[in-house]
Structure 1
Amino acid sequence: MPLTVLSDANIKSLLQDLTHDDLITFQKSLRSALHEYSTGTQDEGCCALHQPKRTALTSGNGTTTLFMPSASSGGIGMKVVTLATPGSEKASAGQTCPQGALTLMDTSGTPFGFLNAEEVTAFRTALASSLLVARRRTVKTLTVYGAGKQAFWHVRLALLLRGSTIKTVNFINRTFSDRARDLLKGFYAIDMKIKESEGWATTKFGILTPGYGEFSRLEKDHLRAADIIFTTTPSTDPLFDHTILTNTEGRKKGRLIIAIGSYKPNMIELPTELLTQATKVHGSGHHFHKHAEEGGVVVVDTLDACLKEAGEIIQSGLSPQQLVEIGELVMLQDEPQSSSSSLDLSDSPIESFSKLDLQPENGGKSLAHVFRENSMESARTGSTSTGATSSGSRSVSRKSSFSGSHSRSGSFLGLGKKSGSVFSNSSKEKAQTSEEDKMSRWLCHGNVIYKSVGMGLMDLIVGADLVRLANEKGVGVTIDSF
């Protein structure tokens, strides 16, 4: 098998020329892998049971090296990256991008890819986030904390997916640094023909720093106006005052909040009050103030790692029952969209979300409680028929998670292996569809928080697609007999 070697320049070239169709192909591969990770049995290669734990080594020179192994039905991956610790000399000098390499092997252990990991890491994280971005009904304003590669790729993929509806992109950074200027230049430098074809030729970009006199007011305005908020910094303090989004006015608008910057227990980007609000189970009855629907959960990329490494999750004291993996959601049916114009709904939160008031129907139960009951019922009635055994279980936290079962096959919404005993009753099928529809509406319209710390599986899947694309385009160096 030939070995394809891709330098940082090779990967940047491939990604800069990425088309909408290419992105959809990449999304399809990652969506399938994440779904298999969260819901698959031990017979499936991407299943969480087959993913080794990553290891972190902290050195005396202010760096952290991560060893991230992964496995799938198609191969094996190993990424090694070194990151500068916030506050260290390297971080102060702006050297915060992960440095390292990704090695890809087939199932026999034969190497077929060796990739520089710098651009891959940012792109694959943004690609996973884009699975949620693609579901949002209204995407007009983006607010982004940070000015690095993660910030660039999260915005770039959002523009590639939803450029025709995005009117404003607001960056918020500590200083108007060279990196911040380069970030803006990166978007301005994209060919006008590409911007026009993707629909964002007239989109406005701006950057706000604390040095500006009206920073507090403008930050509040940017956050309140945002349909999607990206936070991409290794901060050790919350980036903004929680009341901006948790008080009555802040809760009127539904937002997707994607936090990917923190990766240690002492790091935190989002205020804990925001996560507490998102996971609160509201009582029955009518509220005087209308607000966007809360799902009662925080979405994460990997349950186990986020419980151990994500500062927002740890410091908020969230339990496994208050988390759901993105892989358990990505196969939900999208809400029907008749045309591109349907994406631009009214910004009125009262009109937009009155349809999603589940309280009268469900007796005050949150979406989390409704779906947990459903999946636990599936586990009780279907664990035998789906082949669930104690040997298929994972950690205690995994057993007590949203799935409510000892196997990933009876997961969150029963989207894994649907056994006949679970779905034989037509009324249960209707109830299942109803709950899935409610979750789809929440993902499209409601307040959704997604926390990611990254997974080696993402690198493996995205890396393999990059090698495929490179071979199709003749990019990189190929060694026939390695």
Structure 2
Amino acid sequence: MKILSDKDVSKVLEDVTRDTLLKVYQPHLLESLRKLSQTPESLPGRIVQASTTRSSDSTHLFMPSVAPSEVGLKVITGGPTNSKKGLGFVGCVLVLDEHDGSLLGVLNGKTLTAFRTALASSIPMVRVLDPFECEILPQVSVFGSGLQAYWHAKLTVILYGDKIQTINLINKSLHNAEVLQQTLAKEFPNKSFTVLSYADESQAEDVHRAVYHSSIILGCLPSTEAVIKKSFLNPDKNVPKYINLIGSYKPHMLELDSEVIHSEFNDGTRIIVDSKEHCLHESGELVQSKRTAENLIDIAELCSQGSGGSVRVTSRSNITISKLVGLATMDVSIGKLLLRRSHGGVEIGEF
């Protein structure tokens, strides 16, 4: 049995390249999602329970997975006090042997969660926008400044390389966006950066301009108001616009202007999701625009289609939307892979 701290997880992920993403990480997670789509009962309902400790304002979430090759449990805790301390959600992932239930490992959930989400986001993205052959605008716009924003920006730049010249970091707090810019600039010194606050009215035109010149738009904000406006999008039908959303996780939350869905996705064009069931319960963009399962296609189904698949995911205005809420099976799947690839951590011979 092995224990991986957050530092251990980050160490394993230092080997992430375009090659390892396309040939190791993406295929591994996609196979897990394919198996999950064939056995939907393998993702039981989560338990959400407010703390019964008098001095605690935390909520605990227990999310099991009993998928064919991914058996385990993700446990996370969050609340107002955690947020004030800058902790956000604190948690871990337990990975069990799918045959006998023995504990294979425990991983800190912080970086693992952000990486697996960005990885899942990248699977349909490279299918719609081939990183080797597509013609895209040279900018990417990222809404958010946390670990999710970091990993989504990082994987996108790794995958699309020289096709991306400028990274626009757009956040409510300009300071937090500047901190993220400093981190990314060390890893991508040849890229230029623009840092903007969508809450600053004097920067409204700059935000509009940034998104207008982006083919890839990444939403990583837990927002209750749409920050990605339809008017921001480049209207040229020859310009692809790929909008990936992961920030909203409750019905009252949304990042994208509902008008985009109403105007572009009422003609049979599908929205890409990680899980139809979970997205229809948790995604404000889909709940508020009254989408149904027939309006969606999950990642596994999308990737099982041939190159000329019958299901259309790009609108007539060349807009594609991907919406992910995250599944415990993803955590267990990638956690299991990281345990195998790790040369560090703490090994326990007998547990």
Global fold match (TM > 0.5): yes
SS of the aligned residue for 1:113 comes to strand
Q: Identical aligned pairs, as a percentage?
A: 31
C-alpha distance after superposition, 1:371-394 (max 9, x if no partner): xxxxxxxxxxxxxxxxxxxxxxxx
Amino acid at match of 1:157: L
Distance 1:239 1:106, change over 3 A: same
Q: What is residue 275 of structure 1 aligned with on the other side? A: 261
Q: What is residue 196 of structure 2 aligned with on the other side? A: 208
1:251 to partner: Cα distance? 6.0
Q: What is residue 51 of structure 1 aligned with on the other side? A: 43
**Residue number among 199, 206, 219 corresponding to 1:218 in the alignment:** 206
Q: What does 1:329-368 align with in structure 2 at a 5 Å threshold? A: 329-334=302-307
1:309 to partner: Cα distance? 1.1
SS of the aligned residue for 2:224 comes to coil
SS of the aligned residue for 1:318 comes to coil
Amino acid at match of 1:270: L
1:141 to partner: Cα distance? 1.6
Distance 1:320 1:6, change over 3 A: same
User: Is the 8 Å Cα contact of residues 26 and 123 (structure 2) preserved in structure 1?
Assistant: yes
CA distance in 2, matches of 1:330, 1:55: 31
CA distance in 2, matches of 1:74, 1:241: 40
The alignment status of 1:148 with 2:175, answered yes or no, reads no
User: Is the 8 Å Cα contact of residues 138 and 227 (structure 1) preserved in structure 2?
Assistant: no
Distance 1:452 1:271, change over 3 A: same
**Residue number among 303, 312, 318 corresponding to 2:291 in the alignment:** 318
User: Is the 8 Å Cα contact of residues 237 and 318 (structure 2) preserved in structure 1?
Assistant: no
Q: What is residue 331 of structure 2 aligned with on the other side? A: 459
SS of the aligned residue for 1:134 comes to helix
SS of the aligned residue for 1:266 comes to coil
SS of the aligned residue for 2:141 comes to strand
Q: What is residue 76 of structure 2 aligned with on the other side? A: 81
Q: What is residue 328 of structure 1 aligned with on the other side? A: 301
The alignment status of 1:448 with 2:316, answered yes or no, reads no
Amino acid at match of 1:15: L
Q: What is residue 37 of structure 1 aligned with on the other side? A: 36
SS of the aligned residue for 2:44 comes to coil
User: Is the 8 Å Cα contact of residues 35 and 330 (structure 1) preserved in structure 2?
Assistant: no
Distance 1:181 1:94, change over 3 A: farther
Q: What is residue 8 of structure 2 aligned with on the other side? A: 10
1:82 to partner: Cα distance? 1.8
Amino acid at match of 1:175: S
CA distance in 2, matches of 1:127, 1:148: 16
1:48 to partner: Cα distance? 1.3
1:211 to partner: Cα distance? 6.4
Q: What is residue 479 of structure 1 aligned with on the other side? A: 348
C-alpha distance after superposition, 1:180-210 (max 9, x if no partner): 33312221222xxxx5xxxxx5221221014
Q: What does 1:104-143 align with in structure 2 at a 5 Å threshold? A: 104-107=95-98, 108-135=100-127, 136=129, 137-139=134-136, 140-143=138-141
Distance 1:458 1:219, change over 3 A: same
Amino acid at match of 1:5: I
Distance 1:64 1:316, change over 3 A: farther
Distance 1:110 1:151, change over 3 A: same
**Residue number among 160, 183, 186 corresponding to 2:183 in the alignment:** 186
CA distance in 2, matches of 1:262, 1:34: 21
User: Is the 8 Å Cα contact of residues 167 and 192 (structure 2) preserved in structure 1?
Assistant: yes
Q: What is residue 167 of structure 2 aligned with on the other side? A: 169
1:176 to partner: Cα distance? 1.9
1:240 to partner: Cα distance? 3.6
User: Is the 8 Å Cα contact of residues 224 and 250 (structure 1) preserved in structure 2?
Assistant: no
1:242 to partner: Cα distance? 3.1
Number of residue pairs aligned between Structure 1 and Structure 2: 339
Amino acid at match of 2:205: R
SS of the aligned residue for 1:327 comes to helix
SS of the aligned residue for 1:169 comes to strand
**Residue number among 239, 243, 248 corresponding to 1:257 in the alignment:** 243
1:234 to partner: Cα distance? 0.9
Q: What is residue 71 of structure 1 aligned with on the other side? A: 66
Q: What is residue 367 of structure 1 aligned with on the other side? A: none
* Uncovered stretches (5+) of structure 1, i.e. residues with no partner: 41-46, 196-200, 282-294, 335-433
* Uncovered stretches (5+) of structure 2, i.e. residues with no partner: none
CA distance in 2, matches of 1:250, 1:63: 47
Distance 1:464 1:181, change over 3 A: same
SS of the aligned residue for 1:233 comes to coil
1:62 to partner: Cα distance? 5.0
Amino acid at match of 2:10: K
**Greater CA deviation, 249-258 or 55-64?**
55-64
Distance 1:138 1:81, change over 3 A: farther
Distance 1:298 1:37, change over 3 A: same
The alignment status of 1:306 with 2:283, answered yes or no, reads no
User: Is the 8 Å Cα contact of residues 56 and 65 (structure 1) preserved in structure 2?
Assistant: yes
SS of the aligned residue for 2:247 comes to coil
Amino acid at match of 2:71: I
Distance 1:202 1:241, change over 3 A: same
TM-score (norm 2): 0.89
CA distance in 2, matches of 1:73, 1:455: 15
CA distance in 2, matches of 1:265, 1:11: 32
Amino acid at match of 1:14: V
More strand by share: 2
Q: Aligned-pair RMSD on alpha carbons? A: 2.4
TM-score (norm 1): 0.66
Distance 1:249 1:71, change over 3 A: same
CA distance in 1, matches of 2:75, 2:140: 32
The alignment status of 1:236 with 2:224, answered yes or no, reads yes
